[in-house]
Amino acid sequence: EVQLLESGGGLVETGGSLRLSCAASGFIFNSYVMSWVRQAPGKGLEWVSSIGGSGANTYYADSVKGRFTISRDNSRNTVYLQMSSLRVEDTALYYCGKAPFDATGYAPGVSWGPGTVVTVSS
């Protein structure tokens, strides 16, 4: 059974940094694209970033490009989202997702964790 568990969320001031982690189990981790999606309070879903199975290829939404960095440690079955220069508008519930294949099409994620909350205060 696929299991994903995010951690690392919390309260940070504008301009600060935070690193989110997503621990995965139940599948061959390095064989799948992993993604981050977020949801601001009362708002819809927003794709944030994806990373290929080897970690060599990364992709970002324009809203976070240059501020967020996605990475993965395939020896630890964990994907990370390093967030810097945080803004109030980055406040959201961040979900980690497993894509259906090691390919960037098909879907950003088909299995999702419960999420971790990031709050950026001014």
Interface with another protein (CB under 8 A): 35, 37, 44-47, 50, 57-59, 61, 95, 100, 104-115
Smallest distance, another protein to C-beta of residue 95, A: 6
Nearer to another protein, 13 or 101 (CB): 101
37 strand-pairing partners? 47, 95
Nearer to another protein, 35 or 78 (CB): 35
Q: Cα 80 to chain center, whole Å? A: 7
Smallest distance, another protein to C-beta of residue 80, A: 17
